[in-house]
Amino acid sequence: MNRFASFTRWLALCLLSGSVLAASPDGVVAVSHPAAAAAGARLLAAGGNAIDAAAAVQFALNVVEPQSSGIGGGGFMLIHLAKTGETFIVDSRERAPAKASADMFAPDGLPMEFPLASTSGLAVGVPGTLRGIDTALRRWGRKNLADTLEPAIELAERGFRVNRFLAADIANDHGRTRIHPETAAIFRPGGVPLAEGDWLVQPDLAKTLKRIAAKGPDAFYRGPLARAIVKAQQRTRSELGEAGQGRMTLADLAQYQVAIREPLIGHYRGWTLAGMPPPSSGGLTLLQMLKLLERFPLGDATQGYGFGSPQTLHAMIETMRLAFADRAVWIGDDDAAPVPRQGLLHPGYLATRAALIQTDRRMDTPQAGDPLPWESAAAVQPKPSRTKRDSPHTTHFSIVDRWGNVVSTTSTIEFTWGSGITVPGYGFLLNNELTDFNFMPAADAVQGNPGANDVAPGKRPRSSMAPTLLFKDGKPVAAYGSPGGATIINSVLNVTLNLIDHGMSMQQAIAAPRLSVTHAAGKVNCEGGQDFMQPRFGVAAQDALRRLGHVGLGGVGTDGCQDMIGSVQAVFIDLATGEQRGAADPRREGTVIRVKSPKATME
């Protein structure tokens, strides 16, 4: 049987996409797309571990979810090794090129318009995904890079059917698949956008992946492909002129290095969480919100709390407002500027922030607090500055293998379709990750402001990605995360509260409606428009929030919870039985596959 025929057997397992629950002692994958889930399951069934499966999933996602992630971007892989008990992060976040400068998005003292800047080469950061995967495979995998690329090569070479999510992202692309001819040729052949059910073949991408399989990651970071990347990111929008040209060089690509980081560790009601440290704001902001909310009896309906009650929702909203005010000021790449991690999570500082939350009214727009008195390391007071819009895209997947190794990965090319620039002849999109930096420089020597998230050579832009591991008594219980720009943090928070405070199963915790606030000003976004989102946030509860002064919910007596927030994919382990399960988010084409060597089955 040839490779493609073999792989189609795996894809057949996924025809009932949207599977939500599976159990197995031999491994489980939970991914936003069935074909990518099948790629990961294939590696597990062939004797690979969770790291191998994660590599296969990531490469396959480059083919079937190109608008969200791929080798032209970066991400964070959170890994727990069962044998040693180690938990760590492979940080493959994009870096600013050596010629980057703090004012490059505001060359005339005014910030560029985001749609123009984000679709120019200036927005492209040095990609890290491939180097990160290769590092993880060489150090902790059981398979080689070529093995993990096989499913993606077959998908790109033979093609797959466009699902409704990809079709919708092409149709509603705000011009991003139309600006550059190579991108339009793939996703709008003959000027006609691909529709659901169309067959998409990507021969240039297949050729690129084959080259990498044969020659390793240096085939990407050096040589003809590297030269093509550099040339591609020199493109700009005519309105920006030379100011919009990318600044990446061959030296930037050749010198790219991943970082292996220790996770942030926090505690909530007897549970332990491991999450992302800077340059992501995800872990710090999540842990800060949990510690603020620990003061409220969120799961106790007898005290007026419980899921969806006005008191619970009010506490969540005010906590989000406080934490995001701090996030806007304090968090950046602390390899470049110190971030007061200890101060932001210190009980003394948190007490001052929690005191601002009143149970009977909405607080005025909060400012960032001052955690420095609780910080042992030296840090200086920064200030907020203007940044870009958040994207609902990115992708997350979670995997556990037969040995108990766990991977929780979030990866991205930033905004939907990234920069919109496809590398000519190579078939993959380049990120626009540098727009995660401040557009207006915040550094101020007089005020002692280091510009925590200002652009600087080699610096990583602040992220919201929050791959998370949940532990009980030192043992991993669950791995989960989400896409969604700044809402990532709140999606992970919602799921964590649902599990711990509201006693939901993982699938219930994922399907339940979510609430999100990502700015101190406090505009509320919430869900409820889909039948699977249960139990709903009732109109009476929303009216109670309106009376407290909360904004964004519409008029009195109406259902203002009609948004769609995130896409959480999770695996979890029953500590009593060792049983492994998975849960996938119906907000996308979430798929769980359970592996029973040498075959995989799906529920």
Measured distance CA(192)–CA(243) in Å, rounded: 32
316-335 burial string, b = 16+ CB within 10 Å, else e?
A: bbbbbbbbbbbbbbbbbbbb
Question: Catalytic: 394?
Answer: yes
- Which whole-number Å values give the CA distances from 189 to 118, 184, 199, 456, in the listed order? 23, 7, 12, 39
What DSSP assignment string belongs to 241-284? Answer: GGGGS----HHHHHT---EEEPPEEEEETTEEEEEPPTTBSHHH
Listed in sequence order, the residues at least 6 apart from 593 whose beta carbon sits closer than 8 Å to its beta carbon are 13, 14, 19, 22, 28, 29, 37, 38, 40, 41, 582, 600, 601, 602
Measured distance CA(71)–CA(97) in Å, rounded: 17
Measured distance CA(309)–CA(480) in Å, rounded: 25
Q: How do strand 570-573 and strand 599-601 relate by DSSP bridges?
A: unpaired
DSSP 8-class letter at 110 = S
Paired tokens of 420: 């919109």
Measured distance CA(572)–CA(82) in Å, rounded: 14
> Strand (E) positions, 85-216?
87-91, 160-161, 199-200
Token look-up 């070479």 returns 157
3-state secondary structure of 203: helix
Q: Out of 135, 394, 410, 468, which one is annotated catalytic?
A: 394
Please state at what angle helix 487-500 crosses helix 282-293, rounded to 10 degrees: 40
User: Which DSSP helix (H) or strand (E) runs through 28?
Assistant: strand 27-31
Could you tell me if 277 and 153 are in contact, meaning their C-beta atoms sit under 8 angstroms apart?
no
Residues marked active site are found at 394
